[in-house]
Each structure stands twice: as C-alpha cells, then as structure tokens.
C-alpha cells in the first residue's frame, strides 16, 4: 500500500517537481523550506490551539519531503548529502510537531500529565530513529517495528486534526498510543540488532 501511495504521489507531484527544476530550485532548498515550514507551523499553531489549521499547514510542507527526493531522481542528482540532509531534517520536523502538541497540553489544556506523555512520544520516537541509524552504521539491518516514522506522523496529525474539529479525547488517545507503541518499537529494534550482533560474535568466535 505504501509503495502504491508513493507511486501515486510521484505521478501527482511530478509536474510540480519539474517546474521547480525548470525554475532552478534545488532539492536542498525544498528540503530546508519544507522543514522550516513544519517547524514554524507546529510551534506557532498548536500551542495556540489552532489544531486543524496547523495540521493542514504542516501537511502542505510535509509534501516537500516527497518533492525533494523526486526532484533529485528526475535530475539524476541524488547524493549522500541529500539523503543526510533529508533524514536530519525529518528528525527536526518530527520533534517540532510533538513539541507543538506538548505546548498545546501545557498552555491550552493546563495538563502537565499529558504534556509529559507527549514528551514521552517525542523521546521514544527520536530514540527509534537513532537506534535504526546507529545499527545501520554498524552494518546491521534495523527496520520495521510497531510504529515507524510515517505511522507516528500520521497518527499524531490525524489525532490533532480530529481534536481540532471538536472531538474530545482523540488527541489524548493518539499521544498515549504513540508513547506506548514507540517504546515497543525501540525494544523491537534493539532485540533485532541484538540477535544479529550475537550471531556475528558467534561467527567471529
């Protein structure tokens, strides 16, 4: 399903990507612009209680996450630098989204409990990404798990959007679910790497 979505996105975004290329816009500029848009939208809209509005703005800028890669593919200029910039920008954008929701609970709900749960979702989400990056830098395969990055982003944005329409407790359920599933994902990935590391050590011995 994800591959079909990516194929559909490439078809829809293709004309935009080609237009940006024609105008001389580089994929790096698109990556940076999209990340800054997500950061500012999340940290301004969510703490103010503008949930559904913030989600719509964030989604518009998240599209750039697909545009930059598509532009690089069309121009044949995909590079390790571009992949690095895209990955590190994703971490910043994710942190901003969860940080904005955390501030929403602090300032609009006056709840340190739910702010703490949102913080847990942020921490475990970042930890999940770090575990994957560190494992792969050591030559291990580390993927899958209960809540990958795309899953976390969809759940938190969907929860915020529905909550912004006035449906109670949806955002609370979303952040609680993400805190738990992200923690489980970390454990799953650590176990996955541990199994490979033990096998590699046994083979070396």
* Residue at token pair 């970390």: 186
This prediction's pTM? 0.88
pLDDT reported for residue 175: 96
Nearest CA among 65, 62, 60, 57 for reference residue 27: 65
State phi, psi for 165 to the nearest 5 degrees.
Answer: -85, 0
Q: Give the domain range for residue 84.
A: 2-204
pLDDT reported for residue 1: 40
Neighbour-count burial of 29, counting CB atoms closer than 10 A to its CB (0-12 exposed, 13-18 middle, 19+ buried): middle
- Three-state DSSP class for residue 140: coil
Tokens of 75: 């121009």
User: pLDDT under 50 in the chain at which residues?
Assistant: 1-5, 8
Residue 12 sits in a domain whose CATH number is 1.20.120.1760
Contacts of 149 (CB under 8 A, 6+ apart): 90, 94, 125, 128, 129
Query: Active-site residue among 90, 94, 110, 151?
Result: 90
Structural domain count of the chain: 1
The verdict on whether 86 is a catalytic residue reads no
pLDDT reported for residue 2: 42
């Amino acid at each position: 399903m994800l591959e079909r979505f990516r194929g559909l996105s490439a078809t829809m975004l293709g004309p935009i990507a080609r237009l940006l290329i024609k105008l001389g816009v580089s994929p790096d500029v698109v990556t940076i612009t999209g990340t800054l848009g997500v950061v500012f939208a999340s940290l301004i809209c969510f703490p103010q209680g503008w949930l559904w509005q913030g989600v719509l703005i964030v989604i518009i800028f998240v599209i750039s996450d697909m545009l930059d890669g598509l532009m690089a593919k069309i121009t044949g200029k995909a590079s390790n630098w571009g992949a690095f910039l895209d990955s590190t920008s994703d971490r910043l954008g994710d942190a901003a989204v969860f940080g904005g929701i955390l501030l929403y609970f602090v300032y609009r709900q006056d709840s340190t409990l739910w702010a703490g749960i949102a913080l847990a979702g942020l921490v475990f989400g970042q930890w999940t990404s770090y575990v994957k990056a560190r494992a792969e830098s050591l030559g291990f395969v580390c993927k899958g798990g209960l809540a990958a990055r795309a899953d976390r982003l969809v759940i938190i944005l969907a929860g915020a959007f529905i909550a912004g329409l006035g449906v109670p407790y949806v955002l609370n359920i979303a952040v609680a679910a993400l805190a738990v599933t992200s923690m489980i994902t970390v454990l799953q990935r650590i176990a996955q790497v541990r199994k490979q590391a033990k096998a590699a050590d046994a083979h070396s011995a």
